[in-house]
Amino acid sequence: MANICASVRFDRRDVQPISHFQPEFGCCFSLPVVLGRQGIMKTIKIPLETDEDAAIARSAKRLKNTMEKIKKLGS
């Protein structure tokens, strides 16, 4: 947490694994980003094998479904 705060405070623009909204999956999860004073400056795209991409998509779908169930329980 201290590294994240220092990245923002001192505009270090270093790479941090930060959970943020992923529009293509419709939910938040962690990916490496460049982090600076303005927050997430860009997401770093890591080249992955096809099966790795598919595994991330499955995980994101499960995460989104779980979040939707939790929201329904709270209402």
Spell out, as residue ranges, where the chain has pLDDT lower than 70. none
Name the domain count of the chain.
1
Range of the domain at 18: 2-74
The mean predicted confidence, pLDDT, of the chain is: 93
| β-strand partners of 26 | none
- Position 28 scores a pLDDT of 93
As a whole number of Å, the end-to-end CA separation of the chain is 32
- Position 23 scores a pLDDT of 92
**Which CATH number characterizes residue 69's domain?**
3.90.110.10
CA–CA separation, 32 vs 14, rounded Å? 10
- Cα atoms in the Cβ-side hemisphere of radius 13 Å centred on 44: 13
- Position 75 scores a pLDDT of 76
Nearest to 38 by CA among 60, 62, 69, 8: 8
- Position 35 scores a pLDDT of 97
58 three-class SS: helix
Token digits for 58?
């499955």
